[in-house]
């Protein structure tokens, strides 16, 4: 009897091909959802960076000096024990007990396996009772689910905090004739302690038209949530004090007094660089409070450092701050940055350094502030590669047209 097309080998091959195509499509969708479209090489680099960061988190709590006095198997055992305790103590007491029970059940499951001799050699026989295995795996999965729930909740709260933090800094630079401004920030964590701002303020009560462009870049000691909270207080005090006409030195003195009242005895200080530009004369008054000296690239290509720095804000309420001054010319470029930019490290633990920043600035195109900023941030990214960011990075660039 002749085979019909619906039951012949051609039809079977067509159905098998269609099934494989659907499976492949579902697997591709699944993989894209899991990896978010990131390539394998980047995924592996990201995993290694996160693994190194996690390892550093635990090893900071290990007394390596004491372990060096041990030798052989005893040293290996004590090292493993120290790392285990460092991880265990990161959990809540209830979850520590739950983890220990799950591990104990897993050990019982392994010890219940039997080794049998056969004609072909030695064979491991799985335990006949899988109860311990199921309980151990179920316990570990349940504990993982609890930790993930905490992480998701914390991440949601941090995302809200990041949105609030974004409201505290300008979304776009002010429009000032003859001045081109660009800025960017990258927190090491979801939120950070770096701050930047640029806005016009009145400096003379008797002359309401006397306005100056205020430029600010600040870095609160520390990272993540504590630094972000102090950054918010710094922004609030700056904006409040800037509404009162006065000199730049008077403004910084007020910031310092406020910072000293909220710095926990100087432990939470803030470095900052502030400058005021007269848009008409291009005269620039500037002041540094323990901050990295900005770089001024003249239109001729000559580089200058604006060295006018004293103690950070929040250490001594009686600190006297004195301003430096210079005059900008068309084509001049001012680069203000935080230490996270020059202290960015690559996978070899090498710093990007100010020398590389100066080289990148010299090689950057003398075009807009945004293009220069993109070039400098790109130079840092190329140097760092896949290494994990360990500090907030902020850069503000002003170019005179």
Per-residue pLDDT of the chain (401 residues; tens, 9 = 90+): 444 555 567 777 777 778 888 888 888 888 888 877 777 877 777 777 777 777 777 787 788 788 888 777 888 888 888 888 888 888 888 888 888 888 888 887 777 655 555 555 555 555 555 677 888 888 888 888 888 888 888 778 778 877 888 888 898 999 999 999 999 999 887 788 899 999 999 877 656 667 899 999 999 887 778 788 888 889 999 999 999 888 899 999 999 998 888 776 667 789 999 999 999 999 999 999 999 999 999 999 899 999 877 889 999 888 888 899 999 999 999 999 999 999 999 888 899 999 999 999 999 887 899 999 999 999 999 999 878 888 899 999 999 98
Element (H, E) at 324: strand 324-327
Residues 6+ apart with CB under 8 A from 301: 362
Strands 393-400 and 179-186 come out as: antiparallel
CA distance readout (Å), 314 to 88, 260, 317, 376 = 37, 4, 7, 31
DSSP helix/strand/coil, 51 = helix
Fold of 173-400: Phosphatase 2c; domain 1 (3.60.40)
Q: In whole angstroms, what separates CA 58 from the centre of its chain?
A: 19
Residue 235 and residue 239: Cα distance in Å, rounded?
A: 6
Q: In whole angstroms, what separates CA 2 from the centre of its chain?
A: 70
Residue 73 and residue 299: Cα distance in Å, rounded?
A: 65
The pair of three-digit structure tokens given for residue 119, joined into one six-digit string: 């004609």
Could you write out the DSSP letters of every residue in 326-342?
Answer: EE--TT-EEEEE-HHHH
Which pTM value belongs to this model?
0.72
The pair of three-digit structure tokens given for residue 285, joined into one six-digit string: 């008054």
- CATH 3.60.40.10 in the chain, residues? 173-400
Which residue has tokens 């002041």?
Answer: 287
DSSP helix/strand/coil, 37 = coil
- Strands across the sheet containing 179-186: 179-186, 393-400, 333-337, 295-297, 303-305
Phi and psi based region of residue 349 (left: phi greater than 0; alpha: psi -120 to 50; beta: remaining): left
Residue 53 and residue 388: Cα distance in Å, rounded?
A: 8
């Amino acid at each position: 009897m002749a085979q019909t097309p619906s039951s012949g080998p051609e039809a079977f091959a067509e159905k098998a091909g269609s099934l494989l195509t659907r499976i492949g499509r579902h697997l591709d969708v699944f993989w894209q959802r899991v990896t978010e479209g990131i390539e394998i090489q980047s995924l592996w680099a990201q995993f290694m960076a996160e693994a190194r960061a996690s390892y550093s988190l635990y090893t900071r709590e290990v007394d390596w000096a004491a372990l060096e006095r041990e030798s052989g198997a005893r040293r290996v055992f004590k090292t493993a024990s120290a790392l285990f305790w460092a991880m265990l103590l990161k959990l809540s007491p209830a979850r520590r007990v739950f983890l220990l029970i799950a591990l104990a059940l897993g050990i019982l499951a392994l010890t219940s396996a039997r080794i049998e001799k056969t004609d072909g050699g030695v064979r491991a026989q799985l335990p006949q009772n899988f109860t311990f295995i199921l309980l151990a795996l179920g316990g570990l999965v349940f504990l993982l689910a609890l930790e993930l729930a905490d992480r998701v909740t914390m991440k949601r709260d941090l995302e809200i905090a990041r949105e609030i933090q974004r409201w505290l800094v300008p979304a776009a630079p002010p429009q000032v004739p003859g001045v081109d401004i660009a800025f960017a920030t990258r927190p090491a964590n979801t939120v950070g302690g770096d701050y930047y701002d640029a806005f016009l303020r009145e400096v003379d009560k008797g002359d309401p038209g006397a306005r100056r462009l205020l430029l600010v870049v600040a870095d609160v000691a520390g990272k993540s949530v504590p630094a972000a909270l102090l950054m918010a207080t710094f922004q609030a005090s700056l904006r409040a004090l800037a509404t009162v006409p006065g000199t730049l030195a008077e403004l910084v003195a007020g910031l310092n007094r406020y910072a000293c009242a909220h710095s926990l005895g100087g432990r939470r200080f803030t470095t900052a660089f502030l400058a005021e530009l007269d848009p008409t004369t291009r005269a620039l008054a500037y002041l540094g409070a323990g901050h990295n000296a900005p770089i001024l690239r003249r239109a001729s290509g000559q580089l200058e450092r604006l060295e006018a720095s004293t103690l950070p804000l929040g250490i001594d309420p009686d600190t006297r701050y004195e301003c430096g001054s210079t005059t900008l010319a068309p084509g001049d470029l001012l680069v203000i940055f935080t230490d996270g930019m020059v202290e960015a490290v690559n996978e070899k633990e090498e710093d990007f350094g100010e020398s590389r920043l100066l080289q990148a600035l010299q090689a950057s195109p003398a075009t807009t502030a945004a293009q220069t900023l993109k070039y400098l941030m790109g130079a840092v990214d190329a140097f760092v590669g896949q290494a994990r960011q360990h500090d907030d990075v902020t850069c503000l660039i002003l170019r005179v047209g």
